[in-house]
Amino acid sequence: MSERKRVFSGIQPTGEAHLGNYLGVFRRWAQMVDDYECFYCIVDLHATTREYERPDLVRRVFDLTVSLIASGIDPERCTLFVQSHVPQHTELTWLFNVVTPVGDLQRMTQYKEKSAAVDSVNAGLLNYPVLQAADILLYLADFVPVGEDQRQHLELSRDVARKWNARFGELFPEPETLTGSGSRVIGLDGVAKMSKSMDNTLPIVAEPDEMWKLVRTAVTDPARVRKNDPGNPHVCNVFALHEFFTDDGRREDIEIRCQTAEIGCVDCKRLLNDNIVEQLAPVREKAAELTANPGTVLEILDAGADRARAEAERTMSVVCERMGVGREALHSSLRELAGASP
The bridge status of strand 79-82 relative to strand 143-144 is: unpaired
Give the whole-angstrom CA distance, residue 176 versus residue 146: 10
The bridge status of strand 37-42 relative to strand 176-177 is: unpaired
Which residues in the chain belong to E strands, given as ranges? 6-11, 37-42, 79-82, 143-144, 176-177
DSSP 21: H
Q: Sign (positive/negative) of CA torsion 240, 245, 246, 248?
A: positive
Which residues are bridge partners to 8 per DSSP? 39
* Active site (catalytic) residues: 114, 193, 196
Give the whole-angstrom CA distance, residue 283 versus residue 298: 19
**Is the distance from CB of 249 to CB of 255 less than 8 angstroms?**
no
Which residues are bridge partners to 6 per DSSP? 37
